[in-house]
């Protein structure tokens, strides 16, 4: 398999994305990506929220395009790192604190506390998809699949290409016996992230189970 041709540029993409979304224009200028990368120019943090949202959407669209076109698993992982960094930016100090404390609660397996913290987070920042995604994870760990699916649908309403949320839906659908729907969701994941190993394996298994051994 050929190596990914854009790995050098993607390293710069990750640096630029993180710097611009977190510390403002000076760091972004220092980490400006090569001219041949087709990334939108992000606004500094003192720009209106609407402008920041638009810049974020444009950056993610560019990264999703690169993820779909990546020629190798290694190249995909670099792009995923950039995407996840953008996903993680809440734009709210309060949300960041709540997310950090929820993470500690999850590590301690205190799922009740984690649920309370994440519910508070989603009230403070309802447009922050990762808050809903983490809440879905907690419900999944508690085997509350109905609530987990509800939260994942909220994630996808905000981030339609959130391949982790779609994969989460596929896992729940499979666990609850809805294998045909699980296969459809898994194929949606692969349409966004073709080199995702877990989704490729799930597609092979579900295809045999749903469509028969001859497929």
**Spans of all domains in the chain:** 7-88, 93-211
Q: Which tokens hold the place of 28?
A: 């972004």
Per-residue pLDDT at 35 exceeds 60: no
Distance CA(68)–CA(70), nearest Å, equals: 6
Side-chain half-sphere exposure of 135, counting CA atoms within 13 A: 25
pLDDT classification of 168: cutoffs 50, 70, 90: very high
Helix%, strand%, coil% for the chain, nearest 5: 75, 0, 25
Q: Which tokens hold the place of 113?
A: 């506390």
Per-residue pLDDT averaged across 5-26, rounded? 40
What superfamily would CATH give domain 93-211?
A: Tetratricopeptide repeat domain (1.25.40.10)
Q: Is 26 exposed, middle or buried (0-12, 13-18, 19+ CB in 10 A)?
A: exposed
| Tens-place pLDDT, residues 172-213 | 999 999 999 999 999 999 999 999 999 999 999 999 999 875
Nearest partner of 19 among 80, 85, 66, judged by Cα: 85
Per-residue pLDDT at 52 exceeds 90: no
Q: Please state the φ and ψ torsions of residue 213, each to the nearest 5 degrees.
A: -65, -25
Core vs surface per residue 33-67: b (16+ CB within 10 A) or e: beeebebeebbeeeeeeeebeebbeebbebbbebb
pLDDT classification of 26: cutoffs 50, 70, 90: very low
For the chain, the average pLDDT equals 82
The confidence score (pLDDT) of residue 21 equals 44
The confidence score (pLDDT) of residue 17 equals 44
Per-residue pLDDT averaged across 9-30, rounded? 39
Per-residue pLDDT at 165 exceeds 90: yes
């Amino acid at each position: 398999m050929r190596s990914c041709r854009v790995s050098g540029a993607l390293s710069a993409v990750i640096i630029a994305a993180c710097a611009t979304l977190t510390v403002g224009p000076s760091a972004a200028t220092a980490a400006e990506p090569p001219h041949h990368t087709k990334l939108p120019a992000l606004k500094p943090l003192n720009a209106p929220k609407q402008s920041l949202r638009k810049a974020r959407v444009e950056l993610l669209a560019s990264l999703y395009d690169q993820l779909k076109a990546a020629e190798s698993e290694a190249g995909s992982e670099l792009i995923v790192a950039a995407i996840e960094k953008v996903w993680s930016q809440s734009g709210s100090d309060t949300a960041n604190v709540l997310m950090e404390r929820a993470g500690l609660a999850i590590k301690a397996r205190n799922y009740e506390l984690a649920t309370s913290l994440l519910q508070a987070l989603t009230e403070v920042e309802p447009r922050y998809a990762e808050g809903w995604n983490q809440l879905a994870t907690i419900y999944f760990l508690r085997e509350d699949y109905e609530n987990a699916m509800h939260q994942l649908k909220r994630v996808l309403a905000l981030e339609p290409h959130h391949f982790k949320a779609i994969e989460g839906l596929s896992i729940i659908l499979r666990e609850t016996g809805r294998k045909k729907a699980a296969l459809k969701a898994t194929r949606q994941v692969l349409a966004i992230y073709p080199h995702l190993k877990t989704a490729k394996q799930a597609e092979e298994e579900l295809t045999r189970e749903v469509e028969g051994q001859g497929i």
